[in-house]
């Protein structure tokens, strides 16, 4: 027997801690290499972490809801032989910290929060005779079943990774589904049968007994968003300008686009044309797509556009971005935006998609809001708020008619963008949305 500790890996982008959302295995379970074992939420996304060894789960070190520092042990696995190769070390070569594929090692010390419960003693990585650890809890193998097995509260849920992904996409909690597969595992057919009437439960805030207050922990996405907004608000001098425009022709152009054969199965919204207008506006005014560097005392103008789209999720507001959006065709841009929003709502946006943004659009119109004064994402020079498109009286060709009207709000960093540049960019975006076909002919 060889007990190997699995520490919380560095999930990238300087993150130093994560909250254990859900254990996908239990003590005594036999697990396979790369089998998802735990779902962890960082300040940027919720991710499933795969097992780096096959074996038996000996100890789960932290319960669900615990915030764990990167590098701290989260689970111990009996690999049934010598020490796992990834855990070996010699005097000549220092031991490497395990990380997920595609992510770097931990780059700095982690700051520990108060734990929900005291952590048990760590298990030393060594063959069994040298280990001073609690005896592993061994479960009997599940016997084959003839009838569906109802999920046990707090117990493991048996489902293959593709089924787990489908459950996430459908918004289904696997613990509420009765499995009909081998050993009570959940199948795709089980998920399809559970689609009707199934909703994903949201975590309830803690209410202090006997009080009239509700305490909501500040963590994860909300914590990171708050820190970024405070840093941005008190670092970059914000200026906001507004422009009310007639979008009737844009709305008609969208209707014609939806009627095209190649676009009939594509979800198209006014936000698509706003994004296109922004990308063309940046080509005409490159300084809009830049950042201020105190370290090098330079304004860095980007020759690429990573277009961020703010998305409201169950875990808070996130801003994933579309890499090199300026190089995409209109159809490619539509597909990328739909994928971005769908992934964000599922809570599975990878950290890499939420870094490196150069310009952001926030669509407050979906909430029925006319416009706002958005705060810049850190490192970006401008952000555009797109308000609700409403039918309103508008002077058109000498007459007052009902037209599709909206208001744009552009916030920008006045250290980089002065009033003239900001106004010209906003004017050009407005001109495109007022008559996109004429603007395309004139600007190309």
**Radius of gyration over alpha carbons of the chain, in Å?**
26
What count of residues does the chain have?
444
CA distance 47 to 54: 20
Fill in the DSSP letter of residue 36: E
Q: Phi, psi at residue 176, to the nearest 5°?
A: -95, 0
CA distance 318 to 442: 35
CA distance 348 to 359: 22
With helix as H, strand as E and coil as C, how does 383-442 read? EEEECCCEEEEEEECCEEEEEEEEEEEEEEECCCCCHHHHHHHHHHHHHHHHCHHHHHHH
Is 71 within 8 Å of 106 (Cβ atoms)?
yes
Q: Which residue has the tokens 């909206």?
A: 406
Output the six-digit token pair for 26. Answer: 């239990």
Q: Does residue 414 have an active-site annotation?
A: yes
Task: DSSP for 285-304, please give it.
Answer: -GGGSEEEETTTTEEEE-SS
Q: Phi, psi at residue 138, to the nearest 5°?
A: -105, 125
Q: Determine which one of 61, 62, 238, 414 is catalytic.
A: 414
- CA-based nearest residue to 383, from 233, 255, 200: 233
First to last CA, the chain: 69
Is 432 within 8 Å of 276 (Cβ atoms)?
yes
Instruction: Catalogue the active-site residues.
Output: 414
């Amino acid at each position: 027997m060889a007990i190997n500790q699995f520490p919380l890996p560095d999930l990238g982008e300087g993150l130093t801690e994560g909250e254990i959302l859900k254990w996908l295995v239990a003590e005594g379970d036999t697990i396979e290499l790369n089998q998802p074992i735990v779902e962890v939420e960082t300040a940027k996304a919720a991710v499933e972490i795969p097992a780096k060894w096959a074996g038996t789960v000996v100890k789960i070190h932290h319960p669900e809801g615990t915030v764990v520092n990167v590098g701290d042990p989260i689970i111990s696995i009996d690999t049934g032989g010598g020490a796992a190769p990834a855990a070996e070390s010699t005097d000549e070569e220092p031991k490497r910290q395990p990380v997920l594929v595609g992510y770097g090692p931990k780059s700095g010390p982690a700051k520990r929060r108060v734990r929900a419960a005291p952590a048990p003693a760590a298990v030393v990585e060594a063959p069994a005779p040298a280990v001073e650890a609690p005896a592993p809890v061994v479960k009997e193998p599940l016997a084959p079943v003839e009838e569906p097995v109802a999920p046990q509260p707090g117990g493991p849920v048996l489902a293959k990774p593709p089924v787990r992904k489908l459950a996430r996409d459908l918004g289904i909690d696997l613990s509420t589904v009765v499995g009909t597969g081998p050993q009570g595992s959940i199948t795709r057919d089980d998920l399809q049968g559970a689609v009707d009437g199934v909703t994903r439960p949201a975590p309830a805030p803690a209410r202090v007994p006997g009080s009239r207050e509700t305490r909501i922990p500040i963590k994860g996405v909300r914590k990171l968003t708050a820190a970024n907004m405070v840093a941005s608000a008190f670092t970059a001098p914000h200026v906001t300008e507004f422009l009310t425009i007639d979008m009737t022709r844009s709305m008609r152009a969208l209707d014609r686009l939806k009627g095209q054969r190649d676009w009939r199965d594509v979800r198209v919204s006014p936000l698509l044309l706003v994004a296109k207008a922004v990308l063309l506006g940046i080509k005409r005014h490159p300084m809009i797509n830049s950042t201020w560097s105190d370290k090098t005392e330079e304004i860095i103008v980007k020759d690429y556009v990573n277009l961020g789209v703010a998305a409201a999720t169950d875990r808070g507001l996130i801003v994933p971005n579309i890499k090199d959006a300026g190089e995409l065709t209109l159809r490619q841009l539509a597909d990328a935006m739909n994928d971005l929003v769908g992934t964000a709502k599922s809570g599975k946006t990878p950290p890499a998609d939420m870094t490196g943004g150069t310009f952001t659009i926030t669509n407050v119109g979906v909430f029925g809001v006319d416009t706002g004064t958005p705060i810049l994402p850190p490192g970006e020079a401008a952000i555009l708020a797109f308000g609700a498109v409403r039918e309103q009286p508008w002077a058109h060709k000498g007459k007052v008619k009902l037209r599709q009207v909206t208001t744009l709000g552009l916030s920008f960093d006045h250290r980089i963008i002065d009033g003239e540049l900001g106004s010209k960019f906003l004017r050009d975006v407005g001109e495109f949305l007022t008559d996109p076909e004429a603007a395309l002919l004139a600007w190309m």
